Chain A
Amino acid sequence: DGGITQSPKYLFRKEGQNVTLSCEQNLNHDAMYWYRQDPGQGLRLIYYSQIVNDFQKGDIAEGYSVSREKKESFPLTVTSAQKNPTAFYLCASSIVVGGLARAGRAKNIQYFGAGTRLSVL
């Protein structure tokens, strides 16, 4: 079964602690993304990666870090610098980021994992 797996489903962070959220995909997609969603809010982009060993900051990258050592994996670390980490974190992937050759529009469609709920103890 192809898809995106996020773990854990629920995570609790203590004061001053770094925590890492896992995201793995077996869709052979080049692009991967991390979003944060707060109650009643839209999706806000934290980081994205177009290719292995490369990633770019999104709109709210402060207090977060990522790595992309393998095509299949894009873990997100919520650092102690993120003072308000309680949220629903969503990982997504797509074939590409941007690039709109007429025949390739569907390559921008993002598919999401089930999400991780992070709370502070």
Chain B
Amino acid sequence: QKEVEQNSGPLSVPEGAIASLNCTYSDRGSQSFFWYRQYSGKSPELIMSIYSNGDKEDGRFTAQLNKASQYVSLLIRDSQPSDSATYLCAPLMSAGGYQKVTFGTGTKLQVIP
């Protein structure tokens, strides 16, 4: 089992729709979760962080966390063509007595005008 699993996509949604990006992780003890957006050829940029079960909203973005199910998701409302990018899920996970951020391989989102 991979430490962080994401569907690679591409996930295609029409402009104005809700895009739903999902992520599962293997470390039951993970407490912090980050979502990064990476445009083609560019470096990742942080868009959301979430630490508690439930939803966290920031503008058009909502992160959802369910620690019991080891599942975290990112919803993008009113999707825009400028949201077309790869979204990386990055939980903070235990590794040999310390903790490190582990990046998933990402889901490519395409927003169709």
Residues of A that sit less than 8 Å from B by CB = 35, 40-43, 45, 48, 90, 94, 97-100, 105-106, 108-115
Contact = CB atoms under 8 A, between A and B. Distances in A.
Contact of B88 (A42, A108, A115): A42
Contact of A100 (B31, B44, B88): B31
Interface residues of B, number: 22
Nearest to B95: A98
A43 B44 contact: yes
A89 B88 CA distance: 16
B103 A108 contact: no
Given A42-B88, A43-B88, A105-B32, A98 B100 contact: yes
Contacts of A100: 31-32, 92, 99
Interface of B: 8, 31-32, 34, 42-46, 49, 51, 88, 90, 92, 98-101, 103-106
Given A98-B99, A100-B92, 8 more contacts: A35-B103, A41-B105, A90-B43, A94-B101, A98-B92, A105-B51, A108-B99, A115-B43
A42 B49 contact: no
Contacts of B99: 97-100, 108
Contact of A108 (B32, B44, B104): B32
A42 B101 CA distance: 13
B105 A105 contact: no
Contacts of B42: 114-115
B49 A105 contact: yes
A99 B99 CA distance: 7
Residue of B8, B34, B90, B101 most packed against chain A (CB within 10 A) = B101
B101 A110 contact: yes
